[in-house]
A and B are shown apart, each in its own frame.
Chain A
Amino acid sequence: MKKEDLFDLIGELDDEQIENAGKSWESTHKANMRLFLVYAACISFICLSMFIRPIGKGAPVKENTEIHLVEFNGQLYQIVIPSSGPEGSSTLYNLPAFITEKMVGASLGKGTMWNTGKESGEIFAYTPSYQTVTDPLIYLIRSVEFNGYGPYQYLIYYCGTNADKETAVDRLEMYGITTANDVERMICEDEMKTERVTDPTLIEWFVDSLIQSVPISTNSWDQNASFSIRIIAQNGIHFWMEFDVKNSLVKWSDTYYPMPAEMAEKFAVYNDKWLEWEWLQQSYKWNNNNYHVVELGGFYNDLYQLPEVVTEDLCGKYVGTISGLGELYEYLPYREIADQLLYIVKRSDSYCYLRLDSLSYNIPEKSIGELLAYYGINTPEDIVKIQYGDGYTFGYGGDLKMEEAEKDQFAKDLLEASEIGFSGSFHGWKEDSMLGLELITKDSIVVFLLYDTESRVVKLTNIEYQLP
């Protein structure tokens, strides 16, 4: 992309923030120009306000926070002002932020304002071909009270007596869903994964659970542990809600619906958030650090070239006890590898290997030289073989081997790589260009790293380095 294109793109950013920047800019300029007058005005205002009593009952209510209801054809409808932004109608109801003349259909007459009993503005059919909320749930109203926002507003079917705490059953009904059969499919989506849910049993379980849920107020919502669920009704309407796997909450247009605890597990195959969360839960605190514990055996023993049977002879010095796990001993023949620690744990009279992966984000970052030296790699010749597998097959290399010349160059580059920094995630890594590499040292130690062939970035433990 060219710099001019980026400048153009920035020009299309959010109106509101731009206006705020512009507004205060104007006011700052004025303030700078006439600072004395402004100070004088402020002092005068403070003096005056000490003597003048407020007139009226209190501060005026903000117009756009009130709910304006219209009774039409025996049903209640809410006037919704077209607006963009996270709380705006375009987001909440998936409707356009501007109503144009083309959207206005036939005149249907007038209704009655619910709070005053007066005649409402003229009501029209809503005609866009891409409409997402079906007739007769939505109309347009031409209302003089709201003229400041444009000639037309939306008129949306109003269910419930408290807009912040609508029951899910009312809300689902608004989208044409009364039973699970009305749902065509669901899609679980987050930044990493998009999966279709078509299993009718699961959809039925979800809809039933949601219908039975009573909305609550909560501050427990954890955005980091949430993923989106898109629901596609049989009538073609799409709408979104989010699910927080940590707190088992569904968030739907800022209303929270508690769900049964097993929901996270039921949706685990469609989204990794629960697995991530569950994985993080299995952590242990030790020496002021949090570790995820992996019990080694079988495959891992081969991988790390560990003796199959763990005996007391392999135990080094006692290093401490982790509550719930047992006594930890150093593994004599092995060495500490950056943020992954290998120990032997003693439970009753049996021993097994444990790998402790640090979950702390304050690990002192090491240069690649320091890190490789842990494995006994100080020169390119200390790496005798490099084998690799594709994509996420991290640790499963071995089918393919780098040619001698390629290997030597890679080893040389690796030792000269510059540190980018700690990264606890795989954001920015592309599956297509990512390789899981195994470096086999002259001491037969297997060192794992990830390599992006395009950007020539390697990831060793949780630190990323740029190859020259």
Chain B
Amino acid sequence: MEDKEIIGLYWKRDEAAIPASSKKYGAYCQTIAKNILAYIEDVEECLNDTWLHAWNSIPPQWPACLSAYLGRITRNLSFNRYKREHRQKRGGNEITLVLDELAECVSGQEDIEGLIDEQELKKEIQHYISGLSREKRDQFYCRYWYAMPICDIASRHEISEGKVSSNLNRIRKGLKKHLNERGYWI
């Protein structure tokens, strides 16, 4: 079923929208959740919550890109759950490693005074990522958006895991330098 037809079902408040979304994007969203969460029960719950959130937000939203829209909901729900579980010392999945890597780019301090304009910061990050080669940009999104394991990224790009790690390392350093040069000491 085409995306516009699925969105149309949501707009018509037709419950068939949910199985249609699940059929088309269930595996995709499940993989995102699996990369972040350790337990399959949590993954399943997040998926169910994803369809519920989509049901509640479409309409009024008309997503320009349904896969990214649903993927983002899954990612946010999974990550929120991860943070909750993590506080209770239940282990995460690949996400623990991903977060440790991202820690290199940040100070680790909370922005208590609210000095950072997140919208502007987001634009700067977007600007930097857009300037990367297609291959590196894809590796960045795979790792830091989809929380994909290094071995999967290596296999996807048909390069060694070491090369992926080295690329990601350069991208992180580059991102930090890019932000610092523009006055963002996050």
Does A98 sit at the interface, judged by CB under 8 A?
yes
User: Taking the nearest CB of chain B, how far is it from the CB of A8, in angstroms?
Assistant: 7
Which stretch from B15-23, B41-49, B95-103, B161-169 is at the chain A interface? B95-103
Q: Please tell me if the beta carbons of B107 and A15 are within 8 angstroms of each other in the complex.
A: no
User: Taking the nearest CB of chain A, how far is it from the CB of B75, in angstroms?
Assistant: 5
Does A28 sit at the interface, judged by CB under 8 A?
yes
Which stretch from A129-137, A144-152, A250-258 is at the chain B interface? A144-152
Does B64 sit at the interface, judged by CB under 8 A?
yes
Set of chain A residues within 8 Å of B186, measured between Cβ atoms: 1, 6
Q: Please tell me if the beta carbons of B76 and A150 are within 8 angstroms of each other in the complex.
A: no
Set of chain B residues within 8 Å of A99, measured between Cβ atoms: 62
Does A101 sit at the interface, judged by CB under 8 A?
yes
Digitize B96-129: 1 where CB-to-A-CB distance is under 8 Å, 0 elsewhere: 0011101101111111000010100110011001
User: Taking the nearest CB of chain A, how far is it from the CB of B65, in angstroms?
Assistant: 5
Count chain A residues whose beta carbon lies closer than 8 angstroms to a beta carbon of B: 47
Q: Please tell me if the beta carbons of B141 and A7 are within 8 angstroms of each other in the complex.
A: no
Q: Please tell me if the beta carbons of B145 and A4 are within 8 angstroms of each other in the complex.
A: no
User: Taking the nearest CB of chain A, how far is it from the CB of B27, in angstroms?
Assistant: 8
| CA–CA, A11 and B155, complex, Å | 23
Set of chain B residues within 8 Å of A14, measured between Cβ atoms: 126, 130
| CA–CA, A413 and B131, complex, Å | 37
Q: Please tell me if the beta carbons of B108 and A19 are within 8 angstroms of each other in the complex.
A: no
Does A61 sit at the interface, judged by CB under 8 A?
no
B129-149: which residues lie under 8 A (CB-CB) from chain A?
Answer: 129-130, 137-138, 141-142, 144-146, 148
- The secondary-structure label for the interface of chain A is helix
Q: Please tell me if the beta carbons of B110 and A10 are within 8 angstroms of each other in the complex.
A: no
Does B13 sit at the interface, judged by CB under 8 A?
no
Set of chain B residues within 8 Å of A13, measured between Cβ atoms: 122, 125-126, 129, 141, 145
User: Taking the nearest CB of chain A, how far is it from the CB of B14, in angstroms?
Assistant: 15
| CA–CA, A261 and B89, complex, Å | 66
Digitize B9-34: 1 where CB-to-A-CB distance is under 8 Å, 0 elsewhere: 00100000000000000011000000
A16-70: which residues lie under 8 A (CB-CB) from chain B?
Answer: 16-26, 28, 32
Q: Residues of B at under 8 Å CB distance from A? A: 2, 4, 8, 11, 27-28, 59-62, 64-65, 67-69, 71-72, 75-76, 79, 83, 95, 98-100, 102-103, 105-111, 116, 118, 121-122, 125-126, 129-130, 137-138, 141-142, 144-146, 148, 155-156, 180-183, 185-186
Q: Residues of A at under 8 Å CB distance from B? A: 1-26, 28, 32, 83-84, 97-102, 147-151, 191, 425, 427-428, 430, 455
